[in-house]
Amino acid sequence: MQEISWQQLKNSYQPSDFSFESTGNIDRIGKILGQDESIEALNFALNLKYKGYNIYIETESDNLFDELAKYISDIAKTKSIPNDICYIYNFENPIQPRALLMECGDGEIFQSDMKEIISALKEDLKSSVQGSTVQVIKNKLLTNLEYEKDEMLNELEKMATESGFVVKADEEGIGFIPIYEGVPIMQSTYEALSIEEKKQMKDDSTALYELAETLLLEIKNMEQEIELYIKNEKVNLVISQADKLIKALRIKYRHYEELTSYFDGILKDIIENIEIFIEEPVENNLLINLSLGSSKNIDDVVQKYEVNLLVNNIELDGAPVIYDREVSYVSLVGQIKLNSEISNAETEILNIKSGLLHKARGGYLLIKADDLIESLGGWLALKTALRNENVTIKNINGTNVVETKVIEPQPIDLPIKVIIVGSSNLKYLLQSYDKDFSNLFKSTIEFNSYLDYNKNSIEEIAYKVQEQCKNEDLLPVSCNALLVALRYTQKLLGRNDKLSTNITALQEIIREANSLATICITEQNIKDVIYFRDMELNNLKKEINKSHKENRSMISVQNCRVGQINGLAVYSIGQRNIGQPMRITASTYKGKKGIINVEKVSNLSGSSHNKGVEIIEGFLGGHFAQNIEPNLTCKVCMEQSYSGVDGDSASSTELFAIMSSLAQIPIKQSLAVTGSINQHGDIQPIGGVTEKIEGFYQACKQFPNKEQGVIIPYQNQIDLVLSEEIIEAVKNGMFHIYPIKTFKEGIELLTGEPYHLIENKIIEKLRKLQNS
């Protein structure tokens, strides 16, 4: 039987095969590993502009997302920069702020211009209203009024004197006191007057009071006329200056037709609120301020003129590429933040906040599938936006998505390409969850999980490692150190002919090794890191070896024995696996029960293991009982196994133990076996072959001889990533690895006897049991 040579197990590449001594000698930028065809498909999908042709990228790689973001960012630089997005007040329908799309950069300028306009309305316009021009006119009119008032009062005093009265003016008004014999009359003197004199004095007083009332009314009318005149002057000044300010904006933004009605609305609103713009300043009086606390002021009016620059693309160098781990409903579509219980349409415009969809408009949005699935309302938001081809901001009440009752911002059209990155399982989950998923993500691109293990692939990974060292300020990695680290990742992968496109594990090893290095990350630095990483497993291996040496784990690695064989099992310890041999025994005797799976009877057997035992029974019947009705009972047991067992990787091993028991031919205990079998006797591949071999090798080390080794399925040769110690033992003839295709090869290796002899003895035993 041809065994695997040490050369086949050895790393096929050496540092001398490469042009670089370390990654410090590399100046080339690496591409996305092993994805040439996938990248070509991605480029095609990115150029499809039709509805529903968003992209789902299938990958198991953790680090592909960042690489895709970088790749798409490079593509985005060749695309045009999308419009800025603004929200402005809607004078026709205040509860529905208007969406405004502006050329990149115009949004910021427009927002700044409107802030200047607001400042001018609040400060400059107010100053003009209260300024010298209006004040001069006001003072002149008031001076003339005072002159007229003085003339009228003089005339009144003259008429009063002629009628025998003197004028008394105070805060309460104008009064008249009679004069008698040159002095104001006394009450006693008045009482002494005749009836005729009293009547004449009363008639003269009444006439004077009527004249005074007429004069005061005339003065009041004159004051009102002046006040109205001043107000009209202020109004005309405000309208004139506001129109001048708005006219400048009309000219500057004449190519935005939608702003025409907006500017009209501002001017109309100023006129409607003209009283606020022309009112006199209120003294700093607490009572006055309290009484006016609920009144609208100039800030309330002009605040609605502010522009909410929702998305400013001025910093972009091409189309946007947006990605974030937080992809909830609010994160995607934005929200309206309320600062207080009392809010209105004017203030809430500024509280409209953008979402990722707004920022990615005109470009690309990258999402991790697991983030989308775990998010609150994320898929609902994304589906709605893609289906409607617009994004609508809605208010959020607690954790529920509800439409705002205050404002409803106009939807914004959404030219966008969404790329979701995740595993195939997550894609199937999304498809089963919502039928709309397939309609919205019509482009599916599968990215490879593996690279062929060859010189070109190693060099491509070296470029990536060089980038890591540069970005993270790590020391360069020697070529030999890189090969050792890659060998370790192959062991984690379980393939010696492949490399993983997910180099996260490799990057972690290099990062950790950097802490041990001085000038360059060396082979020894990598080995030390691997030792520290495997310390828990190594300690466990020591305990297992001690158990073998003390014969507490009853594994024999020498001599021969009937119905007894060394099987190979693998156990998970966290994210790592460890292999361990286990004794499998079979006893056969007369009866009608067929094969009894002791693990199953003990409720320790899983469904896959049960299936394997059923296959063994089918194989035995098909090969040895075509003309015999077996009168056979057989018990198969995994000795010292007290926890559950599953999988069919021991089915060939169990078969060999049964054949040994039936033929009464001993099995070499120096060999261990793994591999499943079908009903035709073909050996099938299994998992964890490297760990299983290492587990048996550790047992053999306690009692070494040159006959020791393992029998594995021939298909598993490509999965062998063995330690240097085992490879050296193979080289020195102290350990052997036999790949087999059929059960015949296996039983001959285990017994040292030709198959036809074993077959005859089995048939002979079955006939004997039948006839007994």
Whether 570 shows a pLDDT value over 50: the answer reads: yes
In a domain, 105, yes or no: no
Q: In terms of residue numbers, what domain contains 588? A: 552-771
- Highest-pLDDT range among 28-37, 133-142, 687-696: 687-696
Give the model's pLDDT for residue 318. Answer: 96
Residue closest to 42 by CA, chosen among 29, 61, 55, 52: 55
Average confidence (pLDDT) over 368-374: 95
Q: Which amino acid is at 633?
A: T
Residue 486's SS3 state is: helix
Region of 240 (left: φ > 0; alpha: ψ -120 to 50; beta: rest) is alpha
In a domain, 287, yes or no: no
Q: Which amino acid is at 654?
A: E
pLDDT tens track for 27-52: 776 678 888 899 999 999 999 999 99
How far, in Å, CA of 723 to CA of 728, rounded?
A: 9
- Tell me which H or E stretch contains 364: strand 364-368
Whether 297 shows a pLDDT value over 70: the answer reads: yes
What's the number of domains the chain is made of?
3
In a domain, 651, yes or no: yes
Identify whether residues 422 and 487 lie together within a single domain: no
Residue 557's SS3 state is: coil
Residues 6+ apart with CB under 8 A from 322: 356, 359, 360, 363, 364, 365, 366
Instruction: Give the lowest-confidence range in 143-157, 225-239, 391-405, 523-537.
Output: 391-405
395 against 197, higher pLDDT: 197
Whether 760 shows a pLDDT value over 60: the answer reads: yes
pLDDT band at residue 403, thresholds of 50, 70 and 90? very low
> Up-side HSE of residue 472: CA atoms within 13 Å toward CB?
17
Average confidence (pLDDT) over 390-408: 66
> Up-side HSE of residue 635: CA atoms within 13 Å toward CB?
11
Give the model's pLDDT for residue 348. Answer: 77
| b/e per residue 277-315 (b: at least 16 CB within 10 A) | bbeeeeeeeeeeeeeeeeeeebeebbbbbbbbbbbbbee
Using an 8 Å Cβ cutoff, are 4 and 731 in contact? no
In a domain, 255, yes or no: no
Identify whether residues 632 and 732 lie together within a single domain: yes
Identify whether residues 620 and 760 lie together within a single domain: yes
Whether 143 shows a pLDDT value over 90: the answer reads: no
Using an 8 Å Cβ cutoff, are 23 and 460 in contact? no
Average confidence (pLDDT) over 173-186: 79
Whether 59 shows a pLDDT value over 90: the answer reads: yes
Identify whether residues 389 and 464 lie together within a single domain: no
pLDDT band at residue 275, thresholds of 50, 70 and 90? confident
Give the model's pLDDT for residue 347. Answer: 55
Residue count of the chain, please give it. 772
Residue 770: count of CB within 10 angstroms of its CB: 14
Whether 366 shows a pLDDT value over 60: the answer reads: yes
440: domain CATH number?
Answer: 3.40.50.300
Average confidence (pLDDT) over 110-129: 81
Residue closest to 348 by CA, chosen among 394, 385, 413: 394
| Listed residues 473, 500, 533: the one ending a domain | 533
- Tell me which H or E stretch contains 667: strand 667-668
In a domain, 616, yes or no: yes
Identify whether residues 461 and 438 lie together within a single domain: no
Whether 535 shows a pLDDT value over 90: the answer reads: no
**Which single residue is written with the structure tokens 């060396």?**
522
Which tokens in the block code for residue 298? 């100039």
Whether 397 shows a pLDDT value over 60: the answer reads: no
401 against 269, higher pLDDT: 269
In a domain, 88, yes or no: no
Average confidence (pLDDT) over 760-765: 92
Give the model's pLDDT for residue 402. Answer: 45
Which tokens in the block code for residue 279? 């009112």
453 against 196, higher pLDDT: 453
Using an 8 Å Cβ cutoff, are 478 and 709 in contact? no
Identify whether residues 372 and 506 lie together within a single domain: no
Q: What secondary structure does DSSP assign to 739-769, as a single string? A: EESBHHHHHHHHHSS-HHHHHHHHHHHHHHH
Identify whether residues 486 and 339 lie together within a single domain: no
- Tell me which H or E stretch contains 451: strand 450-452
Give the model's pLDDT for residue 207. Answer: 84
% pLDDT > 90, the chain = 57
Classify residue 619 as exposed, middle or buried by CB count within 10 Å of its CB (0-12, 13-18, 19+): buried
Identify whether residues 373 and 464 lie together within a single domain: no
Whether 448 shows a pLDDT value over 70: the answer reads: yes
Average confidence (pLDDT) over 329-339: 87
Whether 343 shows a pLDDT value over 60: the answer reads: no
Whether 748 shows a pLDDT value over 70: the answer reads: yes
**Which single residue is written with the structure tokens 């198959």?**
755
The strand ranges marked E within 131-273 are 165-170, 173-180, 183-184
Classify residue 172 as exposed, middle or buried by CB count within 10 Å of its CB (0-12, 13-18, 19+): exposed
Average confidence (pLDDT) over 283-296: 46
676: domain CATH number?
Answer: 3.30.230.10
How far, in Å, CA of 488 to CA of 505, rounded?
A: 9
Identify whether residues 440 and 459 lie together within a single domain: no
Sign, CA dihedral 512-517-522-528, equals negative
How far, in Å, CA of 461 to CA of 489, rounded?
A: 12
| Listed residues 446, 465, 489: the one ending a domain | 446
| Listed residues 484, 505, 533: the one ending a domain | 533
Give the model's pLDDT for residue 345. Answer: 55
In a domain, 630, yes or no: yes
What DSSP character marks residue 413?
E
Give the model's pLDDT for residue 287. Answer: 41
pLDDT band at residue 384, thresholds of 50, 70 and 90? very high
Q: Which amino acid is at 35?
A: Q
Give the model's pLDDT for residue 300. Answer: 82
Residue 115 to residues 126, 267, 306, 693, Cα–Cα distance (Å): 16, 16, 7, 76
235 against 507, higher pLDDT: 507
Average confidence (pLDDT) over 595-603: 86
Whether 426 shows a pLDDT value over 70: the answer reads: yes
pLDDT tens track for 536-549: 777 877 787 777 77
Residue closest to 3 by CA, chosen among 711, 720, 771: 711
Whether 92 shows a pLDDT value over 70: the answer reads: yes
Whether 293 shows a pLDDT value over 50: the answer reads: no
Region of 647 (left: φ > 0; alpha: ψ -120 to 50; beta: rest) is left
> Strands 417-422 and 364-368: what pairing?
parallel
Identify whether residues 442 and 347 lie together within a single domain: yes
How far, in Å, CA of 420 to CA of 372, rounded?
A: 9
The strand ranges marked E within 574-627 are 576-590, 594-597
Residue 79 to residues 57, 390, 391, Cα–Cα distance (Å): 22, 21, 22
Residue 499 to residues 4, 368, 495, 502, 560, Cα–Cα distance (Å): 22, 24, 8, 9, 40
692 against 1, higher pLDDT: 692
In a domain, 681, yes or no: yes
496: domain CATH number?
Answer: 1.10.8.60
614 against 28, higher pLDDT: 614
How far, in Å, CA of 377 to CA of 81, rounded?
A: 29
Identify whether residues 620 and 723 lie together within a single domain: yes
Which tokens in the block code for residue 664? 């009464």
Identify whether residues 598 and 694 lie together within a single domain: yes
Average confidence (pLDDT) over 219-242: 74
Residue 450: count of CB within 10 angstroms of its CB: 17
Residues 6+ apart with CB under 8 A from 353: 310, 334, 335, 336, 337, 393
| Average pLDDT of the residues of the chain | 87
pLDDT band at residue 60, thresholds of 50, 70 and 90? confident
pLDDT band at residue 124, thresholds of 50, 70 and 90? low
Which tokens in the block code for residue 448? 């490879």
Average confidence (pLDDT) over 447-476: 93
Give the model's pLDDT for residue 398. Answer: 45
227 against 14, higher pLDDT: 14
